[in-house]
Amino acid sequence: MWSRIESVSSSSLNLGLGLAKRWLWSKSETGQIFAAVWGNGDYGRLGLRSLDSHWRPAPVLRAAFRDQGLRAIACGGAHTLFLTETGRVYATGLNDFGQLGISDDATYSTEPMEVSGLPQEIVQILAGYYHSGAITADGELYMWGKNTNGQLGLGKRAAKAVPLPSKVESLIGLTIKMAALGFEHSVAVTDGGEALSWGGGEYGRLGHGHDSSSLAFFKSTSSLLSVIGD
C-alpha cells in the first residue's frame, strides 16, 4: 500500500532512484529549485555532511552549490551527482574508483564537491555503479571512474580507474543526445537515433546477442561503429 510523503511539497518537479537512496527536486515558493534526499547515508552519498541515513526527505543546502539552483540529480551505486542551472557538476559519496571526478584523492566525501576538468556547460549527468559521465551542450561525452571492463570508452591503454573527466575521443564527430550507465556498461544515443553500447557484456546487457565484454562501440543495428584506439 502506497503512502504520501508528507514532508515534501506537491510541486515536486522530478524524482529518481538509486541504490539504497532516493531523491527529488522541487520548486519552492520563491521559484528556486532545491533537492531533497533520503535513504542510506553511507559514504556521504546523500551530500548532507554526515554519514547518517535518513528515513524522511532532507534538503541539500543551496550553499553546497554556491547558491546555484539545480537542474538534475543522478544516483550511482554509492555516489550522487548534481547538475546546477549554470551547467556545473557536483559530486558526493564514495570515491574509491575516482567516480566523484574531484582532484582530491579522498575515498569519499560527505558534501558535494565540484567535479574537476569539465570544460564547458554540461546538460546531462550520468551515474553508474562505480563510474560517472556528463554530456556537454555540444554533444560531447566525458567519462570518469571505474574502467575495468572498458565502460568509460577511453581505449585499451586507459587506466582501470580514471579519477578525472576524460573526453571519449572515439565518439568525436557524433553528437550524443543522451546516455545511461549501468553496473559496468554504458549506453549512449546519438542525435540520429542510434544506440551505442560498450563495456561489460555479462548477461547480454549490451544488447547484441552475446555476453562478451566489448572495447568497441556497437550500433543498435549490431554493426561495428568504431573500435577504440590501440
The vertex-46 CA angle with 40 and 51, nearest 5°, equals: 65
Q: Tens of pLDDT along 144-166?
A: 999 999 999 998 889 999 999 99
User: Would you say the C-alpha torsion 82, 17, 183, 94 has a positive or negative sign?
Assistant: positive
Q: pLDDT tens digits for 7-66? A: 555 444 455 555 445 555 555 555 555 678 889 999 999 999 999 999 988 888 788 888
Q: Sign of torsion, CA 141 143 148 151?
A: negative
- Residue 217 vs residue 50, higher pLDDT: 50
User: pTM to 2 decimals?
Assistant: 0.84
Give residue 112's pLDDT. Answer: 95
- By DSSP bridging, strand 108-114 and strand 79-84 are unpaired
The CATH code of the domain at 36-176 is: 2.130.10.30
Domain segments of the chain: what residues?
A: 36-176
For the record, the C-alpha cell of 146 comes out as 571505474
